[in-house]
Amino acid sequence: MSKKAPLTIMFSAGESSGDQHAANMFLALKGYQPDIQGFGMGGTKMAQAGIDIRYDSGAIGVIGVIEVLKHYGEIRKALHLMQQVVKKERPDLLVCVDYKEFNLKLARFAKQCGIKVLFYVSPQVWAWRPGRVKTYGKAIDMMAVIFPFETAYYEAENVPVRYVGHPSVDKVHPQRSQAEDLLLFGLDESNPVVGLLPGSRANEINRLLPVMLAAAERLQTTVPGVQFILPQADSISDEMLKTYLQHAKVKVTVIKNQPYDVIQCCDVVMTTSGTATLEIALLTVPMVITYKLASITYWLGRWLVNTPFIGLPNIILGKGFIKELIQHEATAENLAAEIERILTDQPYADQMRVNLSHVKQQLGQGGGSRNMAELALEMLK
């Protein structure tokens, strides 16, 4: 009697956040079924989890119309390679993690080959092009969403959907107490601490870190004893940060690989939009959200996006309780003014913390990776 072959799952993740989500999901899967095998496109986190990487997605993890066009040839090459992997190896399940347009094409191809498709992290259909629900519905077998309000969009079109919880809920936990971190990072607990989160992509650093540093210089003259700290993303090199920090007129403490310990030390944070805003919200730290895109990307977004907010905490509560300084409003003067208000207007800061605690409640109890693993195994039966 021949031995049954182990189940195989192919993953496709194009950005650093998707790389982490896929890695966590695979580790949870191994807990249920130790002999399960994983392969596909991703990065270092997936490789460390034991997934066989057939294409390193580091070169194609870009955002924005201009950036995607610049890397179009490499993205197309990656898609062709992944399609050939699907065709040749015929996995029991394809798990597409975020990276929407690329993974939609890959999902369509897999469905044509008779492969089941699980899509993890819904496109933001509530913000723009809600008609995509039907498009994705034809290309997948199941959509796993990370916000509870997203299920209604898919249910309305009879697309199989499951709310699995937001991945950040499980991972946003400081390693130490706030008092221990303040001491370890050399911060004075009697003076305000301002966090700088300029992003995890090179183009975000180039556009936003100079503005944040200029805002910090302004704050240094108006807020006595103010201190600045920056959690360095592992995707950003020392050399890139040094380019900007060596010319800054403020001292910025840079800490690697400990973002949540850094954030919990802050009285307020200036941050790029994206998942970071949710992580800050889960730690209930007041913030101001800022972002800059290439002009064509920004104006296309203004035309296509149907939501008054870009910050996820604002979107989740349906109100703009966190100030968003986007594009031409993303100036050092505006950033410094909002940070100063949060530091000096106690009722304003307290109300923001109350709203952040409501965001935390909305995101639930976590268990996203475990829920994803259980969903995948359910589909494999």
Provide the pLDDT for residue 80.
96
- Quick check: 336 pLDDT over 70? yes
Residue 274 DSSP label: S
In this prediction, residues 174-192 reach a mean pLDDT of 97
If one compares 15 and 88, the residue with the highest pLDDT of the two is 88
Please name the CATH architecture into which domain 8-165+366-380 falls.
3-Layer(aba) Sandwich (3.40)
Provide the pLDDT for residue 297.
53
**Distance, C-alpha 103 to centroid of its chain:** 17
Please state, in angstroms and rounded to a whole number, the distance separating the CA atoms of residues 132 and 125: 7
Phi, psi of 114 (to 5 degrees): 80, 25
Please state, in angstroms and rounded to a whole number, the distance separating the CA atoms of residues 251 and 237: 19
Provide the pLDDT for residue 70.
66
If one compares 60 and 260, the residue with the highest pLDDT of the two is 260
Tokens for 348, please give them: 């304003």
- Quick check: 136 pLDDT over 80? yes
- Quick check: 202 pLDDT over 90? no
Provide the pLDDT for residue 113.
97
Contact 229, 253 (CB under 8 A): yes
Provide the pLDDT for residue 1.
43
Nearest C-alpha neighbor of 154 from the set 185, 176, 123:
123
Tokens for 126, please give them: 């509530």
- Quick check: 66 pLDDT over 80? no
Provide the pLDDT for residue 295.
53
Contact 285, 268 (CB under 8 A): yes
Contact 169, 364 (CB under 8 A): yes
Nearest C-alpha neighbor of 323 from the set 262, 284, 270, 263:
270
Residue 128: which pLDDT band, with cuts at 50, 70 and 90?
low
216-263 pLDDT tens trace: 999 999 999 999 999 998 778 899 899 999 989 999 999 999 999 999
Tokens for 7, please give them: 């189940």
Percent of the chain clearing pLDDT 70 (strictly above): 91
Average pLDDT, the chain: 90
Please state, in angstroms and rounded to a whole number, the distance separating the CA atoms of residues 36 and 116: 16
Provide the pLDDT for residue 303.
47
In this prediction, residues 189-214 reach a mean pLDDT of 92
- Quick check: 177 pLDDT over 70? yes
E strands, the chain, are 8-13, 37-42, 52-56, 93-97, 117-120, 142-145, 161-163, 193-197, 227-232, 252-256, 268-272, 287-291, 324-326
Provide the pLDDT for residue 212.
97
Please state, in angstroms and rounded to a whole number, the distance separating the CA atoms of residues 231 and 47: 24
Lowest mean pLDDT among 77-81, 130-134, 284-288, 297-301: 297-301
Tokens for 173, please give them: 């936990």
CA atoms within 13 A on the CB side of 15: 18
- Quick check: 367 pLDDT over 60? yes
Contact 107, 96 (CB under 8 A): yes
Please state, in angstroms and rounded to a whole number, the distance separating the CA atoms of residues 234 and 339: 26
Percent of the chain clearing pLDDT 90 (strictly above): 70
Residue 170: which pLDDT band, with cuts at 50, 70 and 90?
confident
- Quick check: 381 pLDDT over 50? yes
Provide the pLDDT for residue 299.
45
CA distances 324 to 177, 187, 300, 333, 339, Å, are 30, 28, 18, 14, 12
Q: Which residues contact 230 (CB under 8 A, 6 or more apart)?
A: 195, 196, 197, 198, 241, 252, 253, 254, 255, 262
In this prediction, residues 352-362 reach a mean pLDDT of 95
291-321 pLDDT tens trace: 876 555 544 555 455 566 778 899 889 899 9
Q: Measured in Å, how far apart are the chain's first and last C-alpha atoms? A: 21
CA-CA-CA-CA torsion for 94, 100, 103, 107, nearest 10 degrees?
70
Superfamily for 178-362? Glycogen Phosphorylase B; (3.40.50.2000)
78-95 pLDDT tens trace: 999 999 999 999 999 999
Residue 69: which pLDDT band, with cuts at 50, 70 and 90?
low
- Quick check: 162 pLDDT over 70? yes
Residues of the chain with CATH 3.40.50.2000: 8-165+366-380, 178-362
Provide the pLDDT for residue 302.
55
